[in-house]
Amino acid sequence: MPYRICKMIEVENGHLLSKHPDKCRFPHGHTRKVELVFEADSLDDREMIFDFKLIGRMIGDFLETYDHALCMNTADPKFDFFKEAYGDRIIGFENEDPTTEVMARTIYNHTKASLSKFVTTPDAEYPVRECVKIHKIRVWETTSSWAEYSE
């Protein structure tokens, strides 16, 4: 695909990795940068893949749930305690640790489903064509470490 666009969104987010042998098994946070990369073979009648504003409409509310939230494995012995104490600020990952790789896959899957909805039910201001695909999601955990997911 010759054309690609990328939008980066920052999210302050915490996690704990219950399977980790060292410090990462304790709650800690990151300023995550999420890169959303889309592609198409051609440009639309506005000479775009689609308008960047559509990305916020597609994924903004979903990523907002991660902001100042703690991601945890639902199998962690303390999951119920944290969920009871902090409610929707605890995001459960069903029987898997919320590693940056798993988060990239989760965001990819949500974005792919959302993109499909915007193709079948177009936004009046910012339509998206059926030929547009999500290329990859890259999630930065630190300034020097990232994970990405694509199909």
Strand order across the 90-93 sheet:
90-93, 69-73, 3-15, 28-40, 133-142, 145-149
Q: Write the pLDDT tens digit of every residue in 71-92.
A: 999 999 999 999 999 999 999 9
**pLDDT for position 116:** 96
Q: What share of the chain is helix, strand, coil (3-state, %, to 5)?
A: 30, 35, 35
**CATH superfamily assigned to domain 3-149:** 6-pyruvoyl tetrahydropterin synthase/QueD (3.30.479.10)
Residues forming a β-bridge with 36 = 7, 137
Query: At 1, is the pLDDT very low, low, confident or very high (cuts 50, 70, 90)?
Result: low
Mean per-residue pLDDT of the chain: 96
Q: Where are the domains of the chain?
A: 3-149
Give the per-residue SS3 of 44-84: CCCCCCCCCHHHHHHHHHHHHCCCCEEEEECCCCCHHHHHH
pLDDT in tens, 88-132: 999 999 999 999 999 999 999 999 999 999 999 988 888 999 999
